[in-house]
Amino acid sequence: MGFIRHVVCAMSGGVDSSVAALLLKRRGYSVTGVFMKNWDSLDESGVCTTEKDCEDAHRVCRALDIPFHQLSYVKEYWHDVFSNLLREYEKGRTPNPDILCNKHIKFNHFHKYAINTLGADAMATGHYARTSQEDEEVFQQTHATPSTTLFRDRFEIRNPVRLHKGADLLKDQTFFLSQISQNALRQTMFPLAGLTKDFVKKIAAEAGFHHVLKKKESMGICFIGERNFENFILEVRDEISAISSVHSGWFTLTLGQRARIGGQKDPWFVVDKDIGTGNVFVAPTTNHPALFRDTIRTDRFHWVTMDPPPELAKTQMLECHFRFIHQMPLTPCTVTLNMDGSVWISLSEPVRALTPGQFAVLYKGDECLGSGKIIQLGPSQYTLQKGRERLTTHPSNTENHSIQCIRLEPPVHENKWSQDMT
């Protein structure tokens, strides 16, 4: 009898990770299920949904007759993800905790636990994504210690693993995986890579996993669950006094969001924020030109393969596609590489509500190249329009569409993230 490979599967108590574990078992692997607890409190109805999710995951593991472990990453989630979220809001940005959760928790702490503590040959998740390697190639990978120098050994031979969209393009989750490390990706299996969500549900039903099929998919922040976002953030802020200098409600406003303005019959939308004063700039109509821009700059870009594409490294320019919200249509763009590793992204057409703090995710065909946090915006179409008018002797009448500076009451937050639900 041949050697049986050991795969540790992240279990969330949902249908996707449950079917991922089932498929691994059917392929003949020795599977261990692990549930991660990353938040330690009750939801707004007084229920600890984490306990229910854990029990659902455990129930699946019992049905599959595989070992089950529970881990607590509450402290790590707070330090690596949630504290970052608060700091970003303090800077006037709108963060994406789901991308950071995958980067720091699932594909860092959990990856190390699976490989180093449980001695797994590979880890697996229920994400709808695929890589450039076959399953057997995953087992041939060894963990490489990251270089402590600025550049890797020029003679080092590498065949980087690439991240590709899953077969179900509507459920594709490469957007949320765009910051994970090459080391983790090399040792990860995605059993749902070639499946659609409907087929996954069919497999779950046939396997008798009715308790996970009945659950509605969570749309809350990664591992925190469904809450009134505004009240939750303000409550945490008040408890730790981390950002007490910020005007209540101001810091959770995001560009493009509808603003509540007393006495105004027509809707106004947030187009800019002033960190120093707490002032918010709003404009009438949801498609005001102040909301549209075609240029952004990121911080140091994270390339999934570790190195920039050869074309970009050689010419400092790359034609590819861009998105900054999960499932938004891909926009053609030109990427320019800067000396510090950051990139300028020039879009083929202006995009609405490009937002500092969100991640600019790049694609070449069906390959996810990686992502970088948006830290600078180019001029809006409104600014460019006003500039052009100053050069003409007969400026157009745009007074009815001018931007206003106001202070707002705390809004009802509109969650900008499309949830990573695995």
Q: Which residues are marked as active site? A: 101, 222
What single-letter DSSP state applies at residue 221? B
Q: Is 234 exposed, middle or buried (0-12, 13-18, 19+ CB in 10 A)?
A: middle
Task: Write the CA distances from 204 to 21, 77, 178, 200, 288, integer angstroms.
Answer: 11, 30, 28, 6, 46
Secondary structure element (H or E) that encloses residue 53, with its range: helix 49-64
Run of H or E including 33: strand 30-37
Question: Which candidate, 251, 221, 222, places its Cα nearest to that of 238?
Answer: 251
Terminal C-alpha separation, the chain = 34
Distance CA 227, CA 219 (A): 9
129/363 Cα distance (integer angstroms):
13
Please answer whether residues 163 and 131 qualify as being in contact, where contact means their C-beta atoms are separated by less than 8 angstroms.
Answer: yes
Instruction: Tell me the two tokens of residue 67.
Output: 């070992």
- Cβ(281)–Cβ(272) under 8 Å? yes
Position 303, amino acid: W
